[in-house]
Each structure stands twice: as C-alpha cells, then as structure tokens.
Amino acid sequence: MISFGMTEEQELIRDAMREFAADAIRPLGRECDETSSIPDDLLQTLWDLGLTSTQIPTEYGGGGEARAAVTNAIVLEELAYGDAALAVAALVPSQFANAILDHGTDDQKQRFLPMFCGPSFHTASLAIVEPGPLGEPLRPRTVAEPKDGGFVISGSKSCVIFGHTASHFLVFARNDDHVDAFIVGRDAAGLTISEPELNMGMKGLTTVSLELERVPVSSADQLGGVDGADLVEIVNNSRVAQTAVLLGLSRAVLDYCVPYSKDRIAFDEPIAKKQSIAFRLAEMHIECEAMRNLVWQAASFLENGRDATKQSRFARTYVNEKAMWIADNGIQVLGGHGFIREHPVEMWFRHARTLSVLEGAAAV
C-alpha cells in the first residue's frame, strides 16, 4: 500500500523545522534580500542545525545518521516556507559533502568530509552552471584535458553559490567523450573568482562566476578516481532539493494570500468572496498538493536507490512552472500591494523566478 502520510518521526522533524523557520528565518528574510548578504551569525545558526554533519559517517567526524531524501525534502519545504534563500543556504554545504560521500574515493572522503563536521560554518560549492542560454549541467562546454598524469581544466562557470568563501569547487567538465567532476581548490593556479553577481532574486545567496584557464588538477581530485562518478545522480538530487524549496515558497505565498484576501475590503466586502479570487486561491492550493506528490515521489526514488532521472525531471518541470504561476497569482491577489516591499510576495516572486533557472543549489 502506498502511503502519502508522514511517519511520526517525520512529523516531529517537520514541526521542529516549522517552528525554527517561523522564529529564526522568516523575520530575517527581507533583511538578507535587501543587503544581498547573510549575516555570519545566521549562517552559524543554520549550521548548528546539523543538516550536513549529522548525515556524515562517524568515521569522518559526523553524526552517522542515515540520509533520508524524503525527510530532507520535508525539511527543505519547511525552511523555505520561512525563506527560500536561507533554506538553500542551510543545505549548500550538503551538495559538495554528499557528492564526496556518495561518489568519492576513500582518500577523497578522508580529506574532505571532516571539513563539514566542525563547529563552524564551512562550505564548498558545485560549479555546474555555465553562462549562456540553454545550459545543461551534463553537457558542459568546460573541458578537462589529460596532462602529466592529471588534467588541466578550461572554461567558465556562473551562479556558483557561496563561491566567494567556498574552500573548494566541484567542477563538471568534458573529459574526452564523457563528463567528469573535478575538485578544485579556491587557490588553484589559473582560477579566477569574480566579484559577487547581481541577481534578480535569492539575493542573500552570494553567487560568483569562475574563469578556469588551464587549471591543473591532479588525478587524485577526479571525483571517484579513474572510474569517475555518477553525475546524473548528483544532478537529480539537486533538482529534487530545489523543487522542495519551491514547494515551501509556494505554500508561503498561498498562506499569505488567504488571510489578506479575507481582510482586504473592496466594494463593501472581503475580496475573498469574489469568485475570481476564491477560485484562484483554490487552484493555488490544488497545485501545492500536486507539487508535493511529485517531489515526494522523486525523493522516494532517490532514497531507495532507484534511477530518479525521469521523476526528478517531471518534478522540476512541473514545479518550476507552477511555482511561478502561484507567485504571479499571489501578486495578482494583492493587487497594487503585491508590488511593494511592505508585503513579501514581490520578493517571493523574484525568488521563484531565480530558483526556476538555477542548478546545483541544494541537496536532499
């Protein structure tokens, strides 16, 4: 029998994350957007949740808890209900750490995983987005050429989250007739890190561009060694995570619009009594439920070790479209108020637009 409900443990985790998001995240979301930064103390608070370290084996200094993609999707939804940018910030380190844990060699696990088990916020970033239209992480223009027993990497990457402070980057690059991932330190010769990019939404997440001009990488830093790694799984994981974030954001829009429409009086009655508004809100609710089913299905495939490529693409395509639709309709429900900073819906619209084109932002 298929269950669409949560376990008792998942309900406890959901409630804890919901309370944390309401108390610690929602009040600071606007400030982070306005300043285009996240305060260090808030990053430390997010780090103290242990979302990365607790799921790293004890032999590397972590908590040794089993990673459960569905539970992590629930966590991301609740955090994003508070603020999508801060939810992603909490899970950015997991992208790199999970890739090493799932696909790295024993040497790579020993070298890199302990970095994510310390008391202070630490991040390394995925570098999989490239400038230009119609980008596809698994078809990069960045090239890795074999040289002297290692590689030299040349190309460009953009939208690298926390690249201004990341200790390492996981760079996707073409290696002959296939694609591999390479671990590149921020001080590598030939690597240039840009000034922070100016983005439409998710502005609290500082992103940068990378220019790689014949950057030397040893064979020991090829993810998975000579056998390489399953990069499709890394991308699928990221896409499921981002759909969970967009789901939480969409719920936030809906839950803001419902009480607003009951309080807003037009022509001597609440606008919630207007059919056009009532039907719109009902459709927004239906879409949130449909989105959750797709997200959980894709996360379940990941959790059970099944190929989630089709499910993650279904979820990503549908959720991207419907999250934008919900955010746009949120603005329509608020009317003129939807465009001013007094209300958060305009910020959430910008977040949804940015998340719908971003890759490699979070992990489940």
User: Cα separation of 310 and 47, whole Å?
Assistant: 32
CA–CA distances in Å: residue 323 to residues 106, 213, 282, 320, 351: 40, 38, 15, 5, 10
**pLDDT digit string, tens, across residues 322-358:** 999 999 999 999 999 999 999 999 999 999 999 988 8
Average confidence score pLDDT of the chain: 94
The β-bridge relationship of strands 125-127 and 168-175 is parallel
CATH number belonging to domain 8-117: 1.10.540.10
Burial code (b: 16+ CB inside 10 Å, e: under 16) for 100-119 equals: bbbbbbeebbebbbbbbbee
Contact 10/71 with Cβ under 8 angstroms? yes
pLDDT at 51: 93
Minimum mean pLDDT among 71-80, 175-184, 354-363: which range?
354-363
Res 64 pLDDT > 50: yes
Report which of 133, 211, 145, 135 is spatially closest to residue 180, judged by C-alpha positions.
Answer: 145
**pLDDT digit string, tens, across residues 189-235:** 999 999 999 999 999 999 999 999 999 999 999 999 998 999 999 99
Element (H, E) at 100: helix 84-103
Which CATH superfamily includes the segment(s) 125-227? Butyryl-CoA Dehydrogenase, subunit A, domain 2 (2.40.110.10)
Contact 318/119 with Cβ under 8 angstroms? no
Q: Which amino acid is at 189?
A: A
Confidence of residue 364 (pLDDT cuts 50, 70, 90): confident
Element (H, E) at 295: helix 275-303
Domain boundaries, the chain: 8-117, 125-227, 231-355
- Stated length of the chain: 364
User: Cα separation of 273 and 292, whole Å?
Assistant: 27
Return the CATH architecture of domain 231-355: Up-down Bundle (1.20)
